Amino acid sequence: MADNKLPGITECCGCELCVNVCNKNALSMIRQDGFFIPTVDKSLCTNCNLCVKNCIVANPFEDGNGSKACFGAYYDDNTELLKSTSGGFAYALSLYVIKSGGVVYSVSLSDDAYYAQYIRCDSTDSLSKIRGTKYFPARKGSIYKSIKADLTSGLLVCMIGLPCEIAAAKRYVGRTDKFIGCELICHGPTSEDIHKEFVLDLEKKNNSKLCQINYRHKDGSWKNHKVKAEFVDGSAKLLDLSKTDFFTGFAYYLRNSCYKCHYKGQNSVSDITIGDFWGADTSSEFYNEAGVSSIVARTELGLRVIKSIDHLAIYDVSYEDVQKKNPRLDTSEELPKERKAYSFFYKFLGLKKTAKLIRFYWKIR
């Protein structure tokens, strides 16, 4: 008989840690309103409460890591830099870890591009799979168990993901200097369903299966915000992100918990926080038209790792410099009053018709 108090759909962040800690396999993730939440098999649950004790929402970390130093940086090879979403720090960090004999866990598209999932990278060749922005949740599966197994075997492990996912990993593996948690400055993801419906529509329009999509393709400049869709027939399509149907979901339909994130700013439990340096402009000494990363070292481990990475043009900046034009560093996205209506229409009309209604609303408001 189960008597747990796991968060429901409005609170759960979807980190999947509860599924990983349950040693009775009584928990699984189900889709609700386009997002995955845990469900309990009462016939298997022994009411041990291990899931609730480890839940990073029901029992959040008491203290965050604050910040120790901040930087603006970009990868010093422009060819590689243009393949990255912002300044290429995540790529440089991943290279450092793998060349140090370690492994990297981050997010890759599935083979059919319909969903995203965490994968384990143990070679530089595999890093191409985790490049590019997804903007929708990744399936975690058993990554926390895999990370702990790698740490137990003595490997250096880096995980690059959302703040809640890094918090979940930290809760699972405990304190160790062998684990580098690198979080992204997070707006919050829209649903996997919206992404998949958008992809299916692209495939229908182009009469070809999609093999790759990047929601932040640079098209020569970091601030262009293009979507690049590549198809198996060799064709490609470039779209303005803000004009896509997908963008309406990203604007109005995030996971509920993302509007009240527990792990923003000084409450972060990551070692490193990274994102776009939106406050950088041509007057900044560290500006690069191809992209600039903002970096916050949260721990001594994070700072030590940052200073050990090669191929970075890196500059000291203040926390306020990083904050400039990047409010999601410290605060959650505000819950839009239109979210409830968007959810209702999307459920009954689908993405295309809902997006059309939203654009009409934008015109008349």
| Integer Cα distance of 355 and 340 in angstroms | 14
Rg, C-alpha atoms of the chain: 20
Closest by CA to 28, choosing from 42, 41, 14, is 41
Q: What is the pLDDT of residues 345-363, one digit of tens each?
A: 999 999 999 999 998 887 7
Q: What is the pLDDT of residues 212-263, one digit of tens each?
A: 999 999 987 898 889 999 999 999 999 999 999 999 999 999 999 999 999 9
Tokens at residue 318, please? 């203040």
pLDDT at 4: 55
Residue 190, CA atoms < 13 Å, CB-side half-sphere: 24
Domain 1-59 is in which class? alpha beta
pLDDT at 203: 98
Domain limits, the chain:
1-59, 69-189+254-329, 192-253+335-364
CB 86 within 8 A of CB 134: no
| Integer Cα distance of 303 and 307 in angstroms | 6
In degrees to the nearest 10, what's the CA dihedral of 251, 254, 256, 259? -60
Nearest 5 degrees, angle CA 132-CA 138-CA 143? 110
Residue 122, CA atoms < 13 Å, CB-side half-sphere: 7
| Integer Cα distance of 241 and 267 in angstroms | 31
Residue 181: phi and psi, rounded to 5, are -100, 115
Given a cut of 50, the residues of the chain with pLDDT beneath it are: 1-3
pLDDT at 223: 87
pTM attached to this predicted model: 0.95
Q: What is the mean pLDDT of the chain?
A: 95
